[in-house]
Structure 1
Amino acid sequence: MRNGKTGPAGRLSGGYSKLFAAGLVNGIGDRFSSIAMLALVLQMTGSGMAVGISLGVRVLPYLFMAPLGGILATRFPRKAIMIAVDLLRVPVALSFLLVDGADRLWLLYTGSFIMAAGEAVYSPVRKSSIPLLADSSALLRINGLEQLMNGSVLILGAFIGGVVSLWFGPEMAFIVNALSFLVGALLLWGIHFPQAGGRELGRTEGTGKNPAAAHLSGGRLHTLKYVAGGSLALQIVIAYELLVPVINGWDNVLISVYAVQEFHAGDAGIGAFYAALGTGLSLSFFAGKLLKKRLLTAALTGLMLEGVLLMAISASGSFIQAFFLYILLSLAGGVGNACLDTLVMRETPPRLQPLIFGMLSAVSGTLLGLSMLGAGWLLDYVEPRVLGCAGGAGFAAIALLLAGYAAVRGRLLRERGLSR
């Protein structure tokens, strides 16, 4: 078995296994730090505005830094970029230990911004590395594992992070986060990407020796536009990332509002709802195994189900009912996300994958942040359940819109012999 590819009977390679482990360790460490950071802010200020600022500064870097990560991955080895980002975040994570009063919260805000900027660079580089470490036939399974990883991070990171912060103080959580970056870098060091002619697969060398590479280096956006123009799947994914985050932020805010105001379950209720989301993401890995083809249909069906379930949650009469509905909601979303990521990896040439993942991450992250701010403003005028029902209806409408576009555009592409 060559390092970086799937082995016999679908066994995952050591390359992806290490990438998975690094993502799991980093994700849990980040959850530790996030929970400790919010607890520290509330302890020092008691201000909801301070909490909002600490969350907001983690969204802003994605607009500029995620595309930068995609560009860097076309010029430098992806492993080197990820290791460098991990190591640079170690001292930033430790800088949170210096925050011992409200007058030093600026250190926390600055550090959070830098950490988020690092994640914005790291994420598209990591995601575009997956096709280099797996055969095309294994991509759906691996993207299902990515959802399992996200679910595990959500459950273990939030729960254990809260316990560590409560028993040992936020300082210990910050130290654990710094150590997680070191462990992640060591795991990444052991990955060997497949090579072609002495170059890491997927890298673009704008040296002028290769006309195709030189053209790609000088006009990646033009090339990406050309590729997307001939791929219905990519068009749907791009439209999805432009439309869904505009509403998805409402649900992120409503989780806490439902738990505290509607079901009177307090902080424990918020934790339980997030645990439900993590459980659904984890289960989506096993549900995704049942899918073999028609991934675009599966993704749009999952979005439709999310809309229906959001409307059901808005009308639920008990905390337990809402808890299980959130599991189903996250299950449908996890399957859909795995399908969409797989379609991007299959439809996009390796050299362009860092760029498209960076652009999608930038757009979706920015729109999600604006959506969360909008939800906070809307809740001053609209009842939470009404807003939740409207969000669910919006998801369903987007699913129908994209399905209609897929049907019409797919027929036109087939008539022209361009459909892929």
Structure 2
Amino acid sequence: MSKPPMEATPAESPPPGAPAGYVELIRDNVHFRRLWIGNVVSLLGDWFNTIALYTLVSELTGSPLALGAVFITKMLPWALASPLAGVLVDRFSRRRVMIASDLLRAVVVLGFLLVDEPGEVYLVYVLTALQVVIGSVFPPAQSASIPNITTPRELLTANALMSATWSALLTLGAALGGFAAAWLGLKAVFVLDSLTYLVSAFFIYRTVIPQDTEEGTKLPVRAAFGKIAEGWRYLRTHPPVARIALAKGTWAAAGGALVYMLTLLGETLTPGATSVGIGVLFAARGFGTGVGPVLARAFFRDRRRWPVLIGACITFSGLCYGLVGGLPWTYAVAVFVVAAHATSGANWVLSTVLLQERTVDRYRGRVFATEWLLVMLADTASILTASLLLEAGLLDLRGGFLTFAAFQVLCGLGWLAGIVPHEQRTGVTR
């Protein structure tokens, strides 16, 4: 007598609390899939553009301060625009905001085609500032949208995948961008970047993104400032949210300078091919930031351990950069760049998930915009300090790595001593 067909046991399917798989998420969630594909294409173009800009300014000026100014121009205008960006993300359709941002940036980046000689370098700063101000709405809109198009099981996987994608595209885009700039020329790279924004806008156009916010068609200036203040009051009255909003900025207080100095190290490794050296080191950075979130998702699912892990990640990142500064400079230092950014990537994803879970939807755009404000201000301060010290000859490049690596270790220890005890006392798990 044959046995009846066996029913699937719970062990044969993911338990309710287990994160969704990566393939499952992309296969089954069509709206996340479209948002993700658009992000893939746009990020590839962005990293092509970034390597091309660093190479262009480095070759036209040869000045550490001029190169540092490119980093700062990518961050300070973004920081200043972030509060208003958060209001727009919470007030208007996030989908339409992202589409408009893509279309406008597709036009702006074509302006880089006009820069051919040292006297025109000022255009790099003007166009970069315009590009990042227009783009300042995109990351908070995307981060605020992900919880609305995913289930609780999918949320951690979605954020890990977005972070891993950013990292993979940094790895691929930096490596290919370096060679593309050398082989195809900088102008071709800027045209490609413009086209990727158009592709991204197309995929987001086909995505449905619900949101629980007070949508409107008008936003008077006075009301906008009121909404910004309302978002800051929310952070002040919700300490568990405010604490986690500091995580990325704590890393950036020294990390911004360390990433900036990677471009100078790239020139040192390959003096005759600047874009290639920068591309290799930024590819190592990207590979690390991709590996870190995947490992964190696999081995650290208990959210109660995440605040301690964030502090440990910041500290370990500083130690790795200390080795970059102390060891002989060959391409072997890329191993420690990978390790440093594996922990920074884990910090990024864990803090993002905690913020998404702890913040109600109507404030989520402003919270993420405020987080970006803190990150960009920290990045700007550290890069400006490093570039001034290097330009004045008060530090050489090796001394710069060692100094800011030590500061990053102190930032991580400060997080462990100042933030973790509050998390443990309040017993917040989400």
Range of TM-score over shorter length: 0.7 to 0.9
Separation in 2, partners of 1:301, 1:262: 30
Q: Does 1:189 align with 2:205?
A: yes
Q: Give the aligned residue type for 2:261.
A: L
Distance 1:260 1:98 in 2: 25
1:404 matched to 2:420? no
Aligned equivalents of 1:252, 1:350: Cα separation in 2? 33
The verdict on how the C-alpha distance between 1:223 and 1:121 changes in structure 2, with shifts beyond 3 A counting, is closer
Q: What root-mean-square deviation, in Å, do the aligned CA atoms of Structure 1 and Structure 2 show?
A: 3.2
1:252 — aligned with what? Answer: 259
Runs of 4 or more consecutive aligned structure 1 residues displaced over 6 Å after TM superposition: 6-9, 262-266
Show the 5 A alignment for 1:4-403: 10-12=24-26, 13-42=29-58, 50-194=66-210, 201-205=211-215, 221-222=229-230, 225-226=233-234, 229-232=237-240, 234-261=241-268, 267=274, 268-290=276-298, 291-294=300-303, 295-317=306-328, 319-379=330-390, 380-403=393-416
CA contact (8 A) 2:251 2:344 kept: no
Deviation at 1:390, TM superposition (A): 3.3
Q: How many residues align?
A: 399
Indicate if the aligned counterparts of 1:306 and 1:329 stay in contact, CA closer than 8 A. yes
Write the distance in 2 (CA, Å) between the matches of 1:322 and 1:7. 33
Match of 2:15 in 1: none
| Alpha-carbon distance in structure 1 between the residues aligned to 2:350 and 2:285 | 18
Query: Structure 1 residue 99: deviation in Å?
Result: 3.6
CA distance in 2, matches of 1:134, 1:41: 41
Task: Supply the distance in 2 between the matched residues of 1:227 and 1:52 (Cα, whole angstroms).
Answer: 32
The separation in 2 between residues aligned to 1:85 and 1:277, in whole angstroms, is: 27
User: In structure 2, how many angstroms separate the alpha carbons of the residues matched to 1:39 and 1:386?
Assistant: 23
Partner Cα separation in structure 1 for residue 309 and residue 278 of structure 2? 29
Cα distance between partner residues in 2 of 1:382 and 1:165:
30
The letter of the residue matching 2:406 is: A
| Aligned residue number for residue 17 of structure 2 | none
For the 8 Å contact 2:250–2:412, the answer to whether it is kept is no
> What's the offset of the Cα at 1:346?
0.6
The CA distance in 2 between the partners of 1:101 and 1:296, in whole Å, is 48
- The 3 A distance-change label for structure 1 pair 308 and 181 is same
* Counterparts of 2:269 and 2:45, CA distance in 1: 31
One-letter amino acid matched to 1:409: H
One-letter amino acid matched to 2:280: A
Q: Distance in 2 between matches of 1:106 and 1:216?
A: 31
Q: Distance in 1 between matches of 2:336 and 2:324?
A: 6
> Aligned partners of 1:419 and 1:283: how far apart in 2?
24
What is the CA-CA distance between 1:266 and the residue it aligns to? 6.8
Moved more, 184-193 or 95-104: 95-104
Deviations 1:218-260 (A, max 9, x none): 666446544554443x233233344432212221233234455
Counterparts in 2 of 1:28 and 1:359: CA distance versus 1, 3 Å: same
> Structure 1: how far apart are the matches of 2:380 and 2:115?
26
Q: Is the 8 A contact 2:105 2:135 kept in 1?
A: no
Amino acid at match of 1:271: G
Letter in 2 for 1:389: L
Residues 302, 158 of structure 1: alpha-carbon distance in 2 compared, 3 angstrom cutoff: same
| Shift in Å, 1:11 | 2.5
Report the Cα offset of residue 97 of structure 1: 2.7
Instruction: Give the distance between the partners of 1:223 and 1:41, measured in 2 at CA.
Output: 38
| 2:81 alignment partner AA | M
For the structure 1 residues 144 and 95, does the alpha-carbon distance in structure 2 shift closer, same or farther, using more than 3 Å as the test? Answer: same
SS at match of 2:156: helix
Q: Give the distance between the partners of 2:349 and 2:68, measured in 1 at CA.
A: 30
Asked if 1 retains the 8 angstrom alpha-carbon contact of 2:212 and 2:362, the reply is yes
Show the counterpart of 2:3: none
Distance 2:246 2:53 in 1: 34
Uncovered stretches (5+) of structure 2, i.e. residues with no partner: 1-19, 218-222
CA pair 355-98 structure 1, distance change in 2 beyond 3 A: same
User: How far 1:191 moved relative to its partner?
Assistant: 0.4
Distance 2:327 2:73 in 1: 33
Question: How much does 1:31 deviate?
Answer: 2.0
Q: Aligned equivalents of 2:43 and 2:22: distance in 1?
A: 29
TM-score, with structure 1 as normaliser? 0.84
Asked if the contact 1:155/1:279 (under 8 Å) is kept, the reply is yes
Is the 1:276–1:324 Cα contact (8 Å) retained in structure 2? yes
Q: Which amino acid is 1:235 matched to? A: A
Q: Secondary structure at the match of 1:61?
A: helix
Moved more, 352-361 or 248-257: 248-257
**Cα distance in 2, alignment partners of residues 262 and 41 from structure 1:** 18
